Every structure is written in C-alpha cells, then in structure tokens.
Amino acid sequence: MTDKMTLSKSKINTFIECPRKFKYRYIDEITEEANEYMLLGTEVHEIAEEIAGELMDGNEIDDVFLNLEYDEKLEDHIRGLERFFKDIYSNGYEIFSVEEYIVDEDNDLNGIVDIVIKNKESDELIIFDYKTGKPRNISKYKLELCVYKILLESKYPDLTVASAGIYFTGAGAYRIANFGSVGADYFKSQSKEDISSGDFDYVDGVVDNLYGTIDRNYFKKEKGFLCKYCFYKEMCDEDFG
C-alpha cells in the first residue's frame, strides 16, 4: 500500500481529465511549463490579492483602483475586479480571507482558497475562485466548490459556507451555486443551481477511484481532443505502458 497522498482540487480535476496525465504530473513529478493562460491567471490572482489586502487595511475602494499599477493587457480583468469588490462592499459583505492555504488532515485534502467573503449580519461565508477564461456553466466547477467547502468548514467549524462560485474576471461574470438554502441577498440570488449531497457523493467516488488507481499503479490514458493541448503528449505517445 502506497502512503496516502494528500489531495487537492487540482489533483482531483487532473485525474478526472486523464489518469495518465495525473501520473506524469503528480506521481512522476514532471513539471509542466507555464503557458500564456497560466501566466495570465497568476498575474490576475496576484493583483486580486494585492487589491484585497489594501481593502482589508481600510483603504477606500476608489483610491485602491486609482493607484493600482498594472499592465494594460490586464485592463478588462482590473475592471472586472473593481466590479467584484464593489459588489462585496455595497451588498453587506466583507472580506473574510484571501489566498488562504488550508490543510484538512481528516479528509487528506489541502488547497488555497482564492477569496472568502462573509455576510456582516450572519455566520455565512461565500467562497469565490477567480478564473480568467470565458464564463462556463457552474456544473463544470461543482467538484472543486465541494472541495473548498470541505476545507473551509474543517478550519472554521462554527461558520457555514452558504454558497460558492466562480468569478470570471475578464467578463465580470458570476457563476454561483448555493449549498441548500436560497436567500434573497445579492450573491445567493444569482445562483442558477444548487450543490446537493449527490455532488459530495460524486467527489467521494472520484477520490476512492483515485486512491484505488494509485494502489494498482495503472493510470489509463484518456484519449480525446484535449490531448493536442497536453504538455505530456510527446512522452505519452512514446509510452506504451
């Protein structure tokens, strides 16, 4: 039996995409070169963290954006972030945590949560993950949102994660799912779908399959259209195992 690997949403998502890719990236530890989309994502995450830090220090939102220095290619993302942070403060929320790294030893999970906001009037939290790509349906992201909720509630058992969502910085678009209770507040009311216990069962099933695959040490190739964008394609084509 292999030592139990601690999982993250990136590891679980990679395994779903292709078990062989999971092996190259996380078992063989072959590091992927960052492409332009990854670099953009890193830049936007760093600047969003800087903005949130300034706001948590008590600076006025208009001043923060007025004094912000950034590359002009980020203009759409900066305007998107301005809308996002204004939505937080004008709808009764405050920033609870930013880029927090959480380890949940009971569930063998870890991860970094981009930003968590808290309703000023209650113990409800909302998790947001930033994405720089085109807006897509929330169903694609349910697994990672479940993982974030598990992580947050393991660290803050007295608080409830009421909703979780993706914020697409370039388009200024939300995709939000509620964990059960639908509310009238700004963010919850934008939810188009819920996350139910069935979604958490799905996560459990994938995790069981992933650990079983590691124990069997056979990582099947998931051939498909994504192969042509895969960093590991060349070694994969030459690998007949």
In the complex, which residues of this chain contact ligand SF4 (CB under 6 A)?
18, 20-21, 221-223, 226-227, 230, 232-233, 236
Minimum gap (Å) between residue 26 Cβ and ligand SF4 = 12
At its nearest, how many Å lie between ligand SF4 and the CB of residue 133? 18
Q: What share of the chain is helix, strand, coil (3-state, %, to 5)?
A: 50, 20, 30
12 vs 18, which CB is nearer to ligand SF4? 18
Instruction: Choose among 27, 61, 76, 11: nearest CA to 214.
Output: 27
Q: How far is the CB of 140 from ligand SF4 (least distance, A)?
A: 17
Q: Which is nearer to ligand SF4, 140 or 233 (CB)?
A: 233
Nearer CB in complex with ligand SF4: 94/239: 239
User: 31: buried, middle or exposed (CB in 10 Å: 19+, 13-18, 0-12)?
Assistant: exposed
Give me the least distance between CB of 205 and ligand SF4, in Å please: 21
Pinpoint the alpha helices (H) of the chain: 9-17, 19-22, 36-56, 61-66, 75-90, 142-155, 197-216, 233-237
Report the distance separating Cα 207 and Cα 213, nearest Å.
Answer: 10
Q: Which is nearer to ligand SF4, 9 or 21 (CB)?
A: 21
Which is closer to ligand SF4, CB of 167 or CB of 219?
A: 219
CB of 46 to ligand SF4, least distance (A): 28
Residues listed for the chain: 241
